[in-house]
Structures are given as C-alpha cells and as structure tokens.
Structure 1
C-alpha cells in the first residue's frame, strides 16, 4: 500500500478516534449538571457515569459478534449514527431521568465504536506499526477530550447553554459517518470464525489476558474518576469558579494529547514494556504531587499534567500487547478489553459515596491513587 492510499484510508479511521473522545465530556458535564440540579449529591450525580459506562460490559461481546457477521467498518458506521442521535436528544428534555437515558445511549454508541474501531486499524496498517498507530489514535482522541471543556467554557462565557457542545458533537458524528462510508477499506476476513458469548468470555480464563483486562478496567475507572473529581478538587482547595476549574480537565487532556503524540513517535522504536514502566511511575508521581500541592493552583495543574503524560499511552500499549499475543482473534480480544471500559461505571459512584461521607474531595484523589497501584503491579506481568 503506497503512502497516498494509506493516508486516504487511515485519516477517516483516525477521525473515528476523535469521535470516540466525545464520551470524555461526561466529566465536566456532570459538574454542570450538579449546578443545574443542586439537590443532587455527589454519589447520585456520579451515577451518570455508571449509566454511560455500564454498557461497555453488556454490549462489548454482542458487538464483536456483529463485527464477525457484518464487518468492522459497518459497525463503526452504526456507532456514528447512534451517537449523532443520542447527542442531539439532550435538548428535547432536560431532566435528571432523561439525562440518565441519554448518557446510556451515548455509552452504547461509544461501546460499539471502541470495540470495532481498534480492530479496523489492523485493516489499514501493518502489524509492526500497530502500537504506534493506536497511540496516534489515542492522541487524536485526547485532542477531542482537551478541546471539550474549552468549548463548554467558551459557550458559557458567551451566554450560550453549556449543552451546546452536544449539538456540535452530533454534527461531527455525521461528518465522520459520511467520510468513512465513502472510504474503501478491504477488511481481513481470513481468520474470522463464528463465535459465541461463551467462546469469547472463555478467553478471560487465559492467564495472559486477564491481567490486561483488569488493567483496562483500572485505567478507565481512574480516567473517568479524575475527569469528574478534579474540577471539584480544584474548587474545594482554591478560590476559583466552575468555568475555571473545568479548564483543569483541559490541562489533563492536553498532557494526554502531548504524551500520546510523543508516544506514537517513540513507540515506533522503543519497547512497549520499557515505555509502560516509565509511564505508570510518572502517573503515580503526578497523583502524589496533586495531593501535596492541592492549595497551589499552578502546581496542582502541573501535577495533573504529569499524571496525564504518564497515563497517555497505557491504553494503547495494553491493547497492542494483547492483540499481539492473540493475532488471530482481534475482534474477540477487542471485545474483551473494551468490556474493561465498564470500569468507568464502577469507581465514580464509590468515590461519590466517599466524598459525600467525608465532605473532602482529596479523599477521592487518594482513592484513585490506591486503585492506580494495580497498574504499578502490572509491570511484573507484562515483562
């Protein structure tokens, strides 16, 4: 495949990673919803994350089965349509119940997208470029995540509703659909076999895969929890307003974008295992410094930036290592690992309950730090 042909095929696929990043708006959205519905406690409002991320557990395996039947590209296209519709629904009825339902549909669309898009990358790049390309995809996703809070702040400061971001995302989803459907991609169907729920779930019995699955579970639970907790952590410890605190998430996602771009380059020549080890310790240092410098806005922003840098490439590394260990089961491995994204439904309600009980957002960061220790332990398993 020549460079021009590769570029034509890879660009709409990478644009899919941008659309994948829409789900990260849930963090700052929850903070604005908390303002709109002041009667809601942290534990109740954090249930919105559960309504979104629970579907990664329930829909990942069925999506893998649909991929085997209808193809990866078609399933990605389906996810774009689902997200475009769901993102536009928030303007029809704005209540806590309707938001729960809308976030659930967004979660279903994002589940389908994440399960199908990562294997689709294997149809447009060589296997020796997979880790770098997946990391580049995470860079594109992080750009979306970085710009989301900035756009919300822009809308609010210019007297638009913060929810305007959902209309923007809906239109972009439709653009992604048109771009991808018009791009010819030849899928590799040589190794695809008929699969069942049990055959996919049986893969979790493999001791090589289970630690990676739990790793994805932890990664996403920590990411969603930081996304939700960090603005409240800034508000509690510093004299700032929500629009300013929300920009803290942009610092986090900017660091992730920069780290993913750097990682996409370095991972073309550096061992994934070595890169993983440095990354998890850098992220741990960021969490510790966040707590140490909690009352200094600039230092705490620097700390969350360090965490973002460390975090930025871990998802792609785990995904790539897993696919390399099971080269003939990309669809099934993708389904199993994306089930781990349901971790985003688990930790936020727990942190919400802890912060409700203690009235201290620092306890949320401490909880995240404790959970992160699994990623440090995982360094022994990927060697």
Structure 2
C-alpha cells in the first residue's frame, strides 16, 4: 500500500470526528441498564438489546463492502452516519414525550438499537479502509489505533455524562441529544472533506467468494479473534455494572454505571499506548501483551464473583481487560488486510462480520448467570475468548509472523 499524496489535518480530522461517532455503539451497555431499570425488565430480556445492536454486523457487513465497491468508501461512511442520526431520534421521542407508555418506549428503543447497529456496521466496514487512502501500510495499524483511541474517548465519556444526567436531572436519555448533534456535525464535515480514493483494481466477487476468503487460515484466525475481542468488549460493557450490583444488593444502575467508564478509561489508555507500541514492536509482541492482560482480567473477575467481592478486585479486572483488549481489533484487522491487500474491501466486510461476537457473548453470559444464580456465570463465559487470544499469542506464526 502506498501513499498517493500528502495528508493534511483538514482531511484527517473529519475522519477522527467520525470515529468519535462510531463510539456511540458502546453506549448500548449503559443504555441497556437504564432501560432495564426504567421498564422493569429481566436480565435475559435486557441482554437481548446488545444482540439487537451487534446482530446487524453479521447481516450488513458484506453488503456494506459491496456498497463501498459501487459508491466508494467515503459515500458509504456518510450513509452510516445518516443511519446513526436516525437511531438517535427514537430515544429522544421515547423519553421527551410525557405519558409515553412503557410498551411504546420499548418499541422505540428497540428501533434505535437496531438502527444503531446497522449504521455502525456500515461505518466500521468503510471507515477503516478509508484510512488506507491516506496512510502507508507501515502506519496503517497505528492510525487505526489512533481512530480507535478517539472512539474510546466517546465510549469512556458517554456513561459518565449519562450517569450525571440521570442523577442530576433524571434524564440520562439527553445523551442521545448530544449524540444527534455530534452525528450531524460529523456528516456535514466529512461530506465537505476532499479525499481522493484509489481506484479499485480487484474484480467483483460474489457473497460466496467473499466468505470463501475464510479458507485462508490467517483470515480465519483474525476473524475469530475479532469475534472474541468484540464479545469480551460487549460482555464487559454490559455486565460490569451488574457485577457490582450483584455484590451490593439494592445498588441502582445509575450508581453502578461508573464501572463501565473504568473499563473504557483503561481502554482509552490502551489505545494511546497502542498508537506508539504498534509502530515500535512487532505484532507478535503486542498480541502477547494484549492476550496476557485479558487472561489476567478474567482471573480477577472470577475472584470477585467467588471469594473476593471487594470493589478493588473488580477495578483491577476492568483495568486489565480495558487495556489488554483495546488493540486486539486493530491488530486482527490490519494483519488480515495487509495479508491480502488486493481484497481489502471484502476483508473489511468479513472482519466487521466478526462483530457478531457482541451479539453472541452477552446473551450467553446472561443465560449462564441465570443457571449459576449469580454473575460468576458471566465471568466463566469470558474464559473461552481469553483462552483463544492466549492461543494466538503462543502460536504467532499462524498469523503470518516471522
């Protein structure tokens, strides 16, 4: 991959603003806990909200890659922002209209989660490849991490702002008004951005041919790695407050929402470190560090839900998983994309299909927690993806490492 022109701040800043918009999807965990409390839902019912968001990554990722091929990467990103704008409108309607029945609120929130998932699927598929038009292959991983760092700032700040809005004004949903304004700004700014996209030289291939790329072992391992990464991310995002609420009976969702911000704070730190580390160290080293941190975090979650329910134990677990899991996506995405650069659009669609992990793991965590009778079940489920990441770290040659 080569650089075709100099990149100015005016070109790259709108992309990073869009990365900030991409972070809105991570608010689903916090929103789920608020909606669960507002509508008096059971845990398994609330966990389906996460599924409603992440299911669409599996369904729309490949159509989004075809959309990129036909209309271009920037146009596809603009479509994704427009869908995100519509997703922000429904919660505002649900909560701003006084006297809205619970059934009506539920329907509107479900519609919002669905549109948020669809918009984010298009955004994740098209935004990362758009970066390839601006930077060289050597800086691709670190630039993606820089974008993910901006996304993490959004993910980290939203639960804190929502918790403050909820406690101070009883209106956590005003967060969606803020999301709406930022999304409109991102759309207008990127629409006026001038990015020269490289001509696509790869031939059109069918849906089956795209899935056939998974026959390549490197692509397959990266795909499963992203499933595990997003499953961990969505699971911790959703269940971190519930870990604390389970340990302290009667604790309100608004009082426990800060645990999600602890996770996102250390994920943000992880992205900041990753921007530097991915330029200095090999993928082998960074995969090993990330996997070790994730594995240790699961140990602390197991301790917290069994013999050591002290808050500091949970905080250490959240810090480790936030830091360790932060750059797994950038690593898997860039390894796969650089492995077959001529198929980058299709591989981007495949990798974003891996975000289905966010729809798979949280319901399983909820189901196992119900069977076990506590959040130990959720912690046990996290053992599986953590073990897979350890497998990748101990077998680096399978990812094409030298």
Partner of 1:180: 190
Match status 1:65 vs 2:52: no
- Counterpart CA distance in 1 for 2:60 and 2:4 is 36
Mapping for residues 60-139 of structure 1, pairs under 5 Å: 60-93=61-94, 94-139=104-149
Q: How far is the alpha carbon of 1:101 from its aligned partner?
A: 2.1
Q: How does 1:284-323 map to 2 (within 5 A)?
A: 284-293=295-304, 294-323=308-337
Structure 1 unaligned blocks of 5 or more:
none
Secondary structure in 2 aligned to 1:91?
Answer: helix
Alignment RMSD (CA, Å): 1.7
- Match of 1:364? 378
CA contact (8 A) 1:51 1:100 kept: yes
Does the alignment pair 1:228 with 2:238? yes
CA shift for structure 1 position 142: 0.8
Residues 195-226 of structure 1 show CA distances to partners (whole Å, capped at 9, x for unaligned) of 32122111112222111111111111111011
Partners of 1:3 and 1:254 in 2: how far apart? 35
Task: Name 1:32's counterpart in structure 2.
Answer: 34
In the alignment, which residue of structure 2 is the partner of 1:209?
Answer: 219
1:242 equivalent among 244, 253, 263 = 253
| Cα shift at 1:60 | 0.6
How far residue 170 of structure 1 moved from its aligned partner, in angstroms, is 1.2
Moved segments of 4+, more than 6 Å: 1-4
SS at 1:360's partner residue? coil
8 Å CA contact 2:51, 2:359 repeated in 1: yes
1:344 equivalenced with 2:358 (yes/no): yes
1:209-244: per-residue Cα shift (whole Å, max 9, x none)?
Answer: 111111111111111011111100011113654223
Q: How many residue pairs were aligned?
A: 382
| Structure 1 residue 256 corresponds to structure 2 residue 267 | yes
Query: Quick one: distance in 2 between partners of 1:12 and 1:193?
Result: 30
- The worse-fitting range, judged by mean Cα deviation, of 90-99 and 261-270 is 90-99
Q: Using the alignment, how far apart are the partners of 1:335 and 1:74 within structure 2?
A: 16
Aligned partners of 2:303 and 2:313 also within 8 Å? no
Q: Deviations over 1:281-322 (max 9, x none)?
A: 111112212332452113321221111111111110111111
Q: Is the 8 A contact 2:146 2:272 kept in 1?
A: yes
The answer to whether the aligner puts 1:146 opposite 2:156 as a matched pair is yes
Residue 98 of structure 2 aligns with which residue? none
Which of 284, 299, 314 is residue 273 of structure 1 equivalent to? 284
Distance, in Å, in 2 between the alignment partners of 1:243 and 1:130 is: 38
Q: TM-score, normalised by structure 1?
A: 0.96
Shift of 1:3: 10
From 13, 22, 25, the counterpart of 2:24? 22
Q: Sort the Cα spacing of 1:3 and 1:234 in 2 relative to 1 into closer, same or farther, 3 A.
A: farther
CA contact (8 A) 1:221 1:346 kept: yes
Distance 1:199 1:366 in 2: 36
Q: CA deviation at 1:97?
A: 2.9
CA distance in 1, matches of 2:189, 2:262: 30
